[in-house]
């Protein structure tokens, strides 16, 4: 994908969404049950779409919530259901739909109260942590949760994901049940969806408000050495990118005595303050140097700075030593630091990574004598290992990560952008070097890989062809001038299908898979032999995919 000439520049007036029109479309448009593109579809992070093309509407969310209520009853999940929402324009309407349907099904819904600095928004990791805290020690009446967010997707998008009582993203077995039932309900015109009007629902015994924010903040010292950060007197900066955690940082700073400056406190469903991403679109991707250009320009004003996406499950670390870190680089640094600075962690703890994350992680893990658990893309694959405290850390190449509490107990089972950012401050406070400097030390020891992801537009049919391929599609014995050492269609960590293929050589690899949330397919590639070798890997990968989907 060619770099857009306006990448990194301010948003253009004409690309800002019409919020009133989008919300009207959400409540007015009805999906066509005969069109697969308009069906409920749970990808790697729940159901996503936009009202503008009838892929995320009131009818979708009502059907999903009815299906979820029926699933909870079948599974005898009788505790409260915590609901969080981010700052996308469609999140509030979807919250209303969820409250109306779930309360009519006698589900006890708990939402964030809006009369404090949270403004009624709740980050993904806070919902996960709240579920974990509530269920710890219980034997029945377990809680679960919903997060209404399309993550870093453009302002016009909406998203809805379910977190069962384990606190993390629902696995494919669960989402398939909900998806099939929701689509059956839509096909019947949602006539079997129970619903109350909002005023009646809010006055019922089934809807209550609570404050998830302060309990989460008070627990942060259990997972990050907040005293070390405070003692170091670091000057820290953050750009919440208008996300759900925008009101959290001031309380974190006050609670732990930290010097944190929020450089952009705005919440705007148009996200008009954003810089344009590499393709010229507005996308709140804290791992993109183009979207994060505003904070990067301020890097020299802080000892360390960071940003987060709208639901705060991702992180972007900005260091004075080198600007915005590549997510893969920071994951390697975080792993190298944590497994040497958590004395209460057992030596048996494994390291979790996705199959398309950097092989630098493999080299770091091997040097520490730890075991690697390599999984398919999707954080749901890490939930069990985090719940059982078998994984000390789990991370993915798209700037998502989480780790155990300092005593080795489970913190949460979904990505947590807060603690990944605060860990960067801990690393600087404890070692005197920022994460960028630590990564440079790793490259001196293990080599400096070149990594790139290429996104290509794809239809549903093309994505289906790509996800169905097996190892037999690779007939060559060499790749980019090196002998092929491995062809994988299943992840070694759990033998689950990766929905694509990964081909490896001694000094490089590529992986190709369809996106679970967007109409694109992705090619990932990495080389320890330099940029030219990397481009050769990508070229051969593109040729292979072209043959498969033609």
Q: What is the pLDDT of residues 234-255, one digit of tens each?
A: 999 999 999 999 999 999 999 9
For residue 1, give Cα distances in angstroms to 5, 83, 201, 463: 12, 37, 47, 18
Q: In 152-192, where does DSSP find H-type helix?
A: 172-187
Q: Return the structure tokens found at 533.
A: 């070798």
For residue 509, pLDDT beyond 80: yes
For residue 478, pLDDT beyond 90: yes
Q: With pLDDT > 90 as the criterion, what percentage of the chain qualifies?
A: 89
Q: Which pLDDT score, from 0 to 100, does residue 1 have?
A: 59
Q: Which pLDDT score, from 0 to 100, does residue 11 have?
A: 95
Residues 503-525 have a mean pLDDT of 88
Residues 456-461 have a mean pLDDT of 84
CA 211 vs. chain centroid, Å, equals 23
Q: Which pLDDT score, from 0 to 100, does residue 468 have?
A: 81
- SS3 letters for 61-104? HHHHHHHHHHHHHHHCCCCCEEEEECCCCCHHHHHHHHHHHHHH
Q: Which pLDDT score, from 0 to 100, does residue 198 have?
A: 98
For residue 472, pLDDT beyond 90: no
Residues 389-398 have a mean pLDDT of 96
Q: Which pLDDT score, from 0 to 100, does residue 518 have?
A: 72
Cβ-contact 85, 121 below 8 angstroms: yes
Question: What span, in angstroms and rounded, lies between the C-alpha atoms of 353 and 233?
Answer: 33
DSSP per-residue string spanning 295-308: HHTTGGGSSEEEE-
Question: What span, in angstroms and rounded, lies between the C-alpha atoms of 308 and 258?
Answer: 18
Q: Which pLDDT score, from 0 to 100, does residue 517 have?
A: 67
Of the listed ranges 426-430, 459-463, 468-472, the one predicted with least confidence: 468-472
Q: Are strands 259-262 and 350-354 parallel, antiparallel or unpaired?
A: unpaired
Residues 345-352 have a mean pLDDT of 97
Q: Among this protein's residues, is 151 annotated catalytic?
A: yes
For residue 125, pLDDT beyond 90: yes
What residues pair up with 396 in beta bridges, in sequence order? 400
Q: Of these residues, 45, 91, 118, 151, which one is catalytic?
A: 151
Q: Which pLDDT score, from 0 to 100, does residue 548 have?
A: 82
Q: Which pLDDT score, from 0 to 100, does residue 505 have?
A: 95
pTM over 0.85: yes
For residue 80, pLDDT beyond 90: yes
For residue 330, pLDDT beyond 80: yes
For residue 186, give Cα distances in angstroms to 49, 61, 457, 537: 16, 10, 28, 44
Q: Of residues 470 and 339, which shows the higher confidence score?
A: 339
Residues 91-119 have a mean pLDDT of 97
For residue 168, pLDDT beyond 80: yes
| Phi, psi for residue 346 in degrees, rounded to 5 | -70, 150
* Mean pLDDT for all residues in the chain: 95
Q: State the DSSP H helix or E strand holding residue 542, giving kind and residue range, or none if neither.
A: helix 531-549
For residue 466, pLDDT beyond 90: no
Q: Return the structure tokens found at 373.
A: 């658990």
For residue 216, pLDDT beyond 90: yes
Per-residue confidence at 214, pLDDT binned at 50, 70, 90? Answer: very high
What residues pair up with 395 in beta bridges, in sequence order? 353, 401
């Amino acid at each position: 994908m060619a770099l857009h000439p306006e990448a990194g520049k301010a948003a253009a007036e004409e690309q800002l969404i019409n919020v009133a029109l989008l919300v009207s479309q959400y409540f007015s448009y009805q999906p066509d049950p005969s069109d697969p593109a308009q069906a409920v579809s749970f990808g790697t992070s729940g159901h996503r779409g936009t009202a503008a093309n009838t892929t995320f509407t009131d009818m979708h969310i009502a059907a999903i919530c009815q299906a979820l209520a029926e699933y909870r009853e079948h599974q005898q999940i009788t505790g409260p259901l915590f609901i969080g929402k981010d700052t996308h324009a469609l999140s509030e309407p979807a919250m209303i739909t969820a409250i109306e349907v779930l309360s009519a099904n006698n589900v006890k819904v708990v939402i964030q109260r809006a009369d404090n600095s949270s403004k009624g928004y709740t980050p993904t990791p806070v919902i996960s942590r709240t579920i974990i805290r509530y269920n710890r020690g219980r034997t029945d009446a377990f809680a679960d949760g919903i997060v209404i967010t399309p993550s870093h997707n453009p302002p016009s998008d909406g998203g809805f994901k379910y977190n069962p009582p384990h606190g993390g993203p629902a696995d494919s077995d669960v989402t398939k049940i909900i998806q099939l039932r929701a689509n059956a309900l839509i096909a019947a015109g949602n006539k079997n969806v129970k619903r109350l009007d909002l005023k009646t629902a809010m006055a019922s015994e089934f809807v209550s408000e609570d404050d998830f924010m302060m309990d989460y903040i008070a627990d942060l010292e259990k997972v990050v050495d907040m005293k070390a950060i405070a003692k170091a007197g670091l000057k820290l900066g953050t750009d919440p990118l208008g996300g759900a955690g925008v009101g959290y940082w001031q309380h974190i700073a006050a609670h732990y005595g930290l010097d944190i400056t929020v450089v952009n406190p705005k919440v705007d469903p148009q996200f008009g303050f954003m810089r344009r991403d590499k393709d010229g679109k507005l996308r709140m991707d804290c791992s993109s140097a183009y979207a994060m250009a505003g904070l990067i320009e301020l890097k020299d004003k802080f000892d360390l700075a960071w940003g987060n996406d709208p639901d705060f499950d991702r992180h972007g670390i900005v260091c004075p030593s080198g600007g915005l870190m590549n997510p893969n680089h920071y994951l390697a640094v975080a792993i190298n630091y944590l497994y040497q600075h958590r004395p209460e962690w057992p030596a048996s703890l494994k390291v979790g990574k996705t199959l398309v994350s950097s092989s630098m992680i493999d080299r770091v893990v091997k040097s520490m004598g730890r075991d690697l658990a390599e999984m398919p893309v999707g954080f749901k694959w890490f939930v069990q290992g985090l719940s059982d405290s078998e994984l000390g850390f789990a991370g993915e190449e798209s700037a998502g990560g989480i780790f155990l509490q300092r005593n080795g107990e489970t913190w949460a089972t979904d990505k947590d952008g807060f603690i990944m950012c605060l860990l960067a401050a801990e690393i600087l406070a404890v070692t005197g070097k920022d994460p960028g400097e630590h990564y440079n030390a790793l490259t001196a020891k293990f080599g400096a890989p070149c990594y790139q992801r290429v996104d290509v537009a794809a239809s549903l049919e093309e994505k289906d062809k790509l996800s169905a391929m097996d190892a037999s599609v690779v007939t060559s014995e060499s790749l980019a001038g090196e002998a092929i050492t491995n062809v994988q269609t299943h992840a070694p960590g759990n033998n689950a299908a990766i929905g694509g293929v990964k081909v490896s050589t001694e000094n490089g690899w590529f992986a190709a898979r369809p996106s679970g949330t967007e109409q694109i397919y992705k090619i990932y590639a990495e080389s320890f032999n330099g940029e030219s070798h990397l481009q050769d890997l990508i070229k051969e990968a593109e040729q292979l995919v072209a043959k498969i989907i033609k």
